[in-house]
């Protein structure tokens, strides 16, 4: 089998199996599993509006997912995309609400840069704890997610709360001025699409055409060897943390300046977690992450359609995502007896060892 086809099938197999398990589970609890899968298709790409919603959710998933690719490839598991996304949204909101009458191009640029900076800083702190003190970055970045969530609650209940609002909700910031918005509520515009394409190209060039991309890939597989060669693996880790956090902050800034238009509690909580799945399903490949983001963006769009079409809670998609995460991270292998090398028949020629080891391409994109 063509090695590229084999890699693609291995990436698709967990998703297909997860869909089957999801349909079976729905059937067992009283729903029509096949019909629900059909409704997911209709709610994601079945109509022009559904397709727009899929692309709307694909944008933040691509950007944060590529940040996770950079981090994971380097051997540093930054799973704090949600918290960094929130900090990016807070930074962009702070700038945009503080300068509502400024030149739109200047204010938008400063708001986006503030989001990137805060996201990067929020990510670098766990990175320092990991590199300097040996703290487990998985734990520290998850804890940072909770801190970011409570920081968001505090700000929206106090310093950033829109006190002029006549709504009962209250826990929201003042809306961004219309001339500062870079897209409508559907999240699609030349600016958001252009930024997304630029991020994809830049990250691909960084990983495939620079020394950092080569060294980070080696660091993720064998950091000890790099240390023997005198390479500062800690510096690679800090850069990886900063890039991944900055991209998550960028996604948060685009969310505020685009479809959301203001900061609210519980801002797109599924984006940060799903972006980690994007990186894992794609096998840490750049263009594979784009395809995976389209898939999970479609599921997010479908989650808004399921309560109406199938009387199924939107949280059912979280169960499907859980199945995918479980199967992708399981790393299923053949049993030992199936891979054990047979003893050669006496007098038979020894098989060529090169032909016995299937070559798999190291796909970066």
pLDDT at 275 over 60: yes
Among 190, 182, 193, CA closest to 109 = 182
Q: How far apart are alpha carbons 153 and 161 in whole angstroms?
A: 10
Which pLDDT belongs to residue 166? 52
Asked if residues 160 and 93 have their Cβ atoms less than 8 Å apart, the reply is yes
What's the mean pLDDT in 226-241? 89
pLDDT for 311-358, tens place per residue?
A: 888 888 888 888 888 888 776 454 454 445 545 444 444 444 333 334
**Tokens, residue 153:** 């609650």
Q: How far apart are alpha carbons 142 and 270 in whole angstroms?
A: 14
Tokens 């702190």 correspond to 125
- Listing DSSP states for 71-114 in one string gives HHHTT-----HHHHHHHHHHHHHHHHHH-TTS-HHHHHHHHHHH
pLDDT for 134-179, tens place per residue?
A: 999 999 999 999 999 999 999 998 888 887 765 545 588 889 999 9
Q: How far apart are alpha carbons 215 and 243 in whole angstroms?
A: 15
Which pLDDT belongs to residue 65? 96
CATH of domain 11-160+171-331: 1.10.3470
Phi-psi region of 269 (alpha: psi -120 to 50; beta: other; left: phi over 0): alpha
* Rg (the chain; Cα; Å): 23
pLDDT at 55 over 90: yes
| 137 phi and psi angles, rounded to 5 deg | -70, -25
pLDDT for 107-129, tens place per residue?
A: 999 999 999 999 999 999 999 99
**Tokens, residue 41:** 């298709």
Task: Please state, rounded to an integer, the average pLDDT across all residues of the chain.
Answer: 86
What does the chain come to in residues?
A: 365
pLDDT at 1 over 80: no
Asked if residues 57 and 301 have their Cβ atoms less than 8 Å apart, the reply is yes
Letter string b/e over residues 24-37, b meaning 16 or more CB atoms within 10 A of that residue's CB: eebeeeebebeebb
Close Cβ partners of 138 (under 8 Å, ≥ 6 residues apart): 77, 79
Q: How far apart are alpha carbons 59 and 13 in whole angstroms?
A: 25
| 264 phi and psi angles, rounded to 5 deg | -135, 160
Q: How far apart are alpha carbons 158 and 231 in whole angstroms?
A: 46
pTM (2 decimals)? Answer: 0.86
- Domain extents in the chain: 11-160+171-331
Tokens 């799945």 correspond to 277
């Amino acid at each position: 089998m063509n090695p590229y086809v084999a890699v693609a099938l291995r990436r698709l197999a967990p998703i297909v199996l997860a869909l089957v398990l999801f349909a079976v589970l729905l059937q067992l609890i009283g729903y029509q599993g096949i019909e629900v899968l059909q409704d997911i298709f209709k709610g994601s790409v079945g109509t022009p509006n559904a397709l727009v919603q899929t692309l709307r959710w694909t944008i933040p998933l691509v950007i944060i997912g590529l940040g996770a690719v950079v981090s994971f490839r380097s051997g540093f598991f930054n799973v704090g995309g949600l918290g960094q996304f929130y900090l990016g949204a807070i930074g962009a909101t702070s700038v945009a609400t503080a300068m509502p009458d400024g030149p739109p191009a200047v204010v938008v640029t400063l708001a986006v840069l503030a989001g990137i900076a805060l996201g990067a800083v929020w990510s670098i702190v766990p990175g320092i704890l990991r590199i300097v003190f040996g703290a487990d970055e998985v734990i520290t970045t998850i804890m940072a997610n909770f801190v970011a969530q409570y920081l968001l609650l505090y700000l929206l209940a106090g310093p950033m709360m829109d006190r002029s609002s006549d709504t009962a909700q209250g826990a929201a910031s003042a809306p961004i001025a219309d001339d500062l918005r870079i897209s409508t509520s559907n999240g699609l515009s030349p600016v958001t699409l252009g930024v997304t394409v630029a991020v994809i190209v830049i990250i691909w060039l960084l990983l495939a055409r620079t020394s950092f991309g080569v060294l980070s890939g080696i660091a993720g597989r064998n950091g000890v060897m790099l240390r023997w060669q005198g390479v500062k693996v800690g510096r690679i880790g800090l850069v990886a943390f900063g890039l991944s956090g900055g991209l998550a902050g960028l996604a948060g800034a685009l969310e505020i300046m685009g479809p959301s238009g203001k900061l609210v509690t519980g801002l797109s909580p599924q984006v940060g977690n799903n972006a980690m799945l994007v990186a894992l399903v794609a096998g840490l490949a750049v263009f594979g992450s784009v395809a995976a983001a389209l898939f999970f963006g479609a599921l997010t769009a479908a989650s808004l359609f399921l309560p109406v079409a199938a009387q199924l809670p939107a949280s059912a998609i979280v169960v499907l995502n859980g199945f995918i995460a479980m199967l992708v991270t399981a790393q299923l292998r053949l049993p030992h007896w199936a891979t054990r090398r047979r003893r050669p028949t006496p007098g038979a020629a020894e098989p060529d060892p090169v032909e016995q080891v299937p070559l798999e391409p190291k796909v970066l994109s």
